[in-house]
Amino acid sequence: MPSSDRSQLRADCANCFGLCCVALPFTRSADFTFDKQAGEPCRNLRGDNRCSIHADLREKGLAGCTVYDCFGAGQRVSQATFGGTSWRDDPAVAGRMFAVFPVVRQLHELLWYLTESLTLPPAKAIHAELARMLNETERLARGDADALRELDVAGHRAKVNVLLLQVSDVVRATVPGKKKNLRGKDLIGADFQGADLRGASLRGTYLLGANLRNADLRHADLIGADLRGADLSGADLSSSIFVTQPQVDAASSAVRTKLPAALKHPAHWV
């Protein structure tokens, strides 16, 4: 079975120039206590590219920072694409670096899903196609700054999504009986306590504040599902597919929630 190692797709802040704290904008909201423009360093970013309030982000009203994950794009752009030259050291590269970072972040997220797909036995029939797409995505991510800025990342994402939908279909088909199709639905605050959601399609579903306590989500497709504030206490996501750490971090839960092996229980879960 192909390797499930995704270590290169995890953020390594020590080898990044604080790109998520500079390149990306955010707006004052429940997740952020102030506005910040793209390309503007966050007021909490220190000169060594570390956050001065990292341990207290939630308490300081910056929960949005705690649920962001670059999937390893930060260190790649900092150390590979720009060869270790920081936007601090050479302001001339700043604009190009900030433009490239979100592109590589999207490519790395796709690499996460493709790598996961290659470990799923039900998708064995399309493993060769998945491997080719993974190699193509990796090739694009290795491109130089100019190539990355010109890349039609939305177009590439659409091609990858065709394969991911096939993976979803064959994995969910292993669950007997009729499966729920809740793709893209607005289910904010919905009550799914104890629900049988095995093999359900929850792609892009809005589940903000939903009650998913003790729900069975095995083999459910959760790609792009918005789980902010959702109660996952006791829920079984052990074999859910296309779940990411940012989704889990955005939910509220208890430690008895079962997660896929690649993910960890967030520190704020009690």
149-191 pLDDT, tens digit each:
999 999 999 999 999 999 999 999 999 999 999 999 999 999 9
Largest pairwise CA distance in the chain? 59
The architecture CATH gives domain 177-270: 3 Solenoid (2.160)
What pLDDT shows up at residue 169?
98
What pLDDT shows up at residue 3?
55
Boundaries of every domain in the chain: 7-24+68-172, 177-270
The pTM of the full predicted model, rounded to 2 decimals, is 0.94
CA distances from 42 to 47, 232, 246, 266 (A): 11, 31, 20, 24
Residue (of 204, 212, 209) closest to 236 by Cα position: 212
The string of pLDDT tens digits covering residues 37-56 is: 999 999 999 999 999 999 99
Q: Is the predicted pLDDT of residue 253 greater than 90, yes or no? A: no
Q: Is the predicted pLDDT of residue 92 greater than 60, yes or no? A: yes
What pLDDT shows up at residue 36?
95
Task: Record the tokens describing residue 126, joined without a space.
Answer: 């399309």
Q: What angle do CA 182, 176, 247 make, to 5 degrees?
A: 40
The string of pLDDT tens digits covering residues 58-76 is: 999 999 999 999 999 999 9
Mean pLDDT for the chain overall: 95
Q: What is the mean pLDDT of residues 9-37?
A: 95
What pLDDT shows up at residue 110?
98
Q: Is the predicted pLDDT of residue 25 greater than 90, yes or no? A: yes
Q: Is the predicted pLDDT of residue 238 greater than 50, yes or no? A: yes
Task: Record the tokens describing residue 251, joined without a space.
Answer: 């939910």
What pLDDT shows up at residue 4?
66
Q: Is the predicted pLDDT of residue 217 greater than 50, yes or no? A: yes
Q: Is the predicted pLDDT of residue 1 greater than 70, yes or no? A: no
CA distance 69 to 234: 24
What pLDDT shows up at residue 179?
95
